[in-house]
Amino acid sequence: MAATAPVTAAAIETRAAAVFAAEPTPEHRRAAEDLVAERFGILDRTDRPEAWIAVREPADVAEDVARALAARASGQDMPLAGTLFAVKNNIDVAGLATTAGCPAFGYEPARDAVAVRRLREAGAVVLGATNLDQFATGLVGTRSPYGAVRHAEDPTRISGGSSSGSGVAVALGIVDVALGTDTAGSGRVPAALHGLYGVKPTKGLVPTTGVVPACRSQDVVTTLARDLRLARLAADFMTGPDDGDARSRVPVPSRPARLDRVVGYATAEQLGELAPGWADAYAAAVRRLEDRGFRAVPLDVAPFLAAASLLYDGAFVAERYAAVGPFVDAHPDEVDPTVGGIIAAAGRIPAHRVFADQESLDGCLRLARSVFARIDALVLPTTTFHPTLEQVAADPVAANSRMGRFTNFVNLLDLCALAVPAGRVDGLPFGVQLVGDTFEDDRLVDVAREGGFDEGGPDGD
């Protein structure tokens, strides 16, 4: 089943006017107050204050929910009315300071990021802004002066990042959906570690207007949710070009569906080191697809892994310096040491290395295109292990690098991806990702549904 078509600008304006003009009835206000009281009760009980950088006043949230419900009741098309969402704090929300995980960098945005505005205009309501690895630099969720974000189920383990607070807020049931960003896996990793769906659209489909850049040419706004339909629906409402983002684009029609359904997978030799039990859980996920009628073929994933290594170990990391390097240089004491070290080193990369790495990437891209001509999706583990806070503190760079083995290449190769739950191992969630060719976002949803991944995963305990 294909995803919902992007909404038009005229429809967005109509919805916005309807939300602001709607007058809630007492029933709408009671429903909104009950919903907000329930969610703030969960927030208070679950003891993850470090997941949040800012939380709106409950009364303000309830008023917005009531108006959205009233607009829907009046006949307006408000499919997200009654939906609460959280926003990673490198994405602008009017009325909340944007810090990107660095208080000294903080500013007061004059307006919502385009992605936020489009969700609000479909009836969704912002509950608050979530913590992140500073400047979205990390996959661990611990690199923030607002605190290391603990996993929703096991507080001794990391949440995954950099969209750390967003993952925890959804996993705990505080919000229905959350926005993250994903440059190297920052939306998919916390989704996988929490048993969530993480939609990483093709680059440019969701504008990054109003997003603090990490690597501007590689950044993608993502959604995390416990429900596949909601995760995809929220992404659909955010989709569409915007004049503020020169890289935003419209999707091209996808190639016709294959008569046979084919997925590719990595052999045991190419998986590398995974956490105990994860290789078996991955094999079970591939078998699940086969049981549902897919033909699974082993693939050489070396070109993808080679591309992945270019993101941090090559010259492309210099784009992180282009984004925030001057600020980091001017405020060394205000920046996380690990983040500051990565960004400062990126500023010393010579320009000729970028062109050399681009040539290497072009070779990887050619091989990747030949792979996706033969398959509907590539199935891979989303990440490689789920470390404790102590493990990451002992070796933060190596742990982070290991976690991005299967995520770092996706944006560099202009691919889309969907993180899906695939069971539990040793009592904690395990997830895989479906990776697709450019603009094949809808096809990944179809593969997930037809493969049974919209039903979660088998117990791997």
Active-site positions? Answer: 88, 162, 186
Cβ-based neighbours of 267, under 8 Å, separated by 6 or more: 298
Is the Cβ–Cβ distance between 92 and 221 less than 8 Å? no
Among 321, 296, 287, 307, which Cα is nearest to 376's? 296
Query: Which residues are 225's β-sheet partners?
Result: 177, 197
Length of the chain, in residues: 461
Taking the C-alpha atoms of residue 447 and residue 43, their distance in angstroms, rounded to an integer, is 34
CB 284 within 8 A of CB 460: yes
* Bridging pattern class, strands 428-436 and 416-425: antiparallel
CA-to-CA dists, residue 171 to 49, 152, 192, 194, 407, angstroms: 14, 6, 11, 6, 21
Q: Where are the beta strands (DSSP E) in 226-373?
A: 262-266, 295-299
How far apart are the C-alpha atoms of 413 and 390, rounded to whole Å?
33
CA distance 130 to 268: 37
| Token code pair at residue 388 | 């404790």
**Secondary structure (3-state) at 266:** strand
Give me the amino acid identity at 434.
L
Do the bridges between strand 177-181 and strand 428-436 make them parallel or antiparallel, or are there none, so unpaired?
Answer: unpaired
Query: Measured between alpha carbons, how far is 7 from 239 in angstroms, rounded to an integer?
Result: 8
Angle, vertex CA 244, rays to CA 60 and CA 114, nearest 5: 25
At residue 272, the 3 state secondary structure works out as: coil
Q: What is the DSSP string of 185-240?
A: STTHHHHHHTT-EEEEPPTTSS--TTB--SSTTT--EEEEESSHHHHHHHHHHH-S
Beta bridge partners of 129: 54, 87
| Cα angle 378, 380, 385; round to 5 | 165
